[in-house]
Structure 1
Amino acid sequence: MEQRVSLITLAVADTAVSYRFYIEGLGWEAKMYVPGEVLFITVGAQLVLSLWSEAEFEQEAGPINRGSGTAPVMLAHNVATPAEVDTILAEAVTAGARLIAAGKQAAWGGYSGYFADPDGYHWEVAYNPDAIGQAVLDTE
């Protein structure tokens, strides 16, 4: 098996809400959208974010395990400067996200903040001055 991820699939309550948040609110571009079923968004050279309706997800993959607390998954968006962290957090909130934590200096040497999308999935927005943080930026 090659060392890569092709799709990240998240089960969502309502694909129309996801569309309004990610496409209309954040200004991302839909690769494919089937209302009520799935929304595909290219998020990297060979990486797609799949927002799949809970009903369709459960029909194919099985029951969703529900419980209290935050889902044990975090998505991240790295940027080139601390100021961009604050700008993107504000954009996400305007688009309908819930602010989890405002941008602040992190113990690991960078600057980051967090928001939750309409389904509660947490996103970190981070400036990471280390090599790994710089390696994930689109420098073209």
Structure 2
Amino acid sequence: MDQRISFITLAVADLERSRAFYLDGLGWSAELFVPGEVLMIRAGEHLVLSLWAESGFEGEVGPIRRGDGIVPITIAHNVRTSAEVDEILELARTLGADPVSPGQQRDWGGYTGYFADPDGYRWEIAVNEGMEHLVIP
């Protein structure tokens, strides 16, 4: 098996709300949009972020675990400067992302902050000095 990830699929409660957040708000482009079913966004040369309406997700994958707490996954978007981290976090805040944790210097050497998309998935906006060749095209 090749070492790679081709799709990240997230179940979303309201596909139209997610479409508005990612496309209208963040300015991303749809690779495929089927209203009420799925939104696919090319997130890299060989990576697609797939946002799937919960009902279709559950029909194929199985019941979604629900309850208190944070969804146990983060998705990272790496940038080149701490100023870019702060700019993107502010954009997310203006789009109604909640919560948004401000950028901060981390003990491990990076500068990161987080925002939650409309379904609570946490996006880490980060500068990881020394790893740019791995994560930034």
TM-score (norm 1): 0.94
What is the aligned partner in structure 1 of residue 85 from structure 2? 85
Matching residue's letter, 2:92: A
What is the aligned partner in structure 2 of residue 76 from structure 1? 76
Contact between 1:80 and 1:134, CA under 8 Å: does it hold in 2? no
Q: Counterparts in 2 of 1:1-140, with a 5 A limit?
A: 1-130=1-130, 132-138=131-137
Q: CA RMSD in A?
A: 1.0
- Post-superposition CA distance 1:12-65 (Å, at most 9, x none): 001100100000000000000011110000001100000000000001111101
Matching residue's letter, 2:69: G
Which one is further off, 89-98 or 121-130? 89-98
Q: How many Å apart are 1:93 and its aligned residue?
A: 1.4
Cα distance between partner residues in 2 of 1:100 and 1:134:
27
Which structure 2 segments of 5+ residues have no match?
none
Which structure 1 segments of 5+ residues have no match?
none
Matching residue's letter, 1:90: E
Cα distance between partner residues in 2 of 1:93 and 1:57:
28
Cα distance between partner residues in 2 of 1:94 and 1:19:
16
TM-score (norm 2): 0.96
Superposition misfits of 4+ residues, deviation over 4 angstroms = none
Contact between 2:89 and 2:100, CA under 8 Å: does it hold in 1? no
Cα distance between partner residues in 2 of 1:94 and 1:124:
17
Q: How many residues are paired up?
A: 137
Secondary structure, in 3 states, of the residue corresponding to 2:57?
A: helix
Cα distance between partner residues in 2 of 1:106 and 1:38:
36
Secondary structure, in 3 states, of the residue corresponding to 1:8?
A: strand
Q: How many Å apart are 1:100 and its aligned residue?
A: 3.2
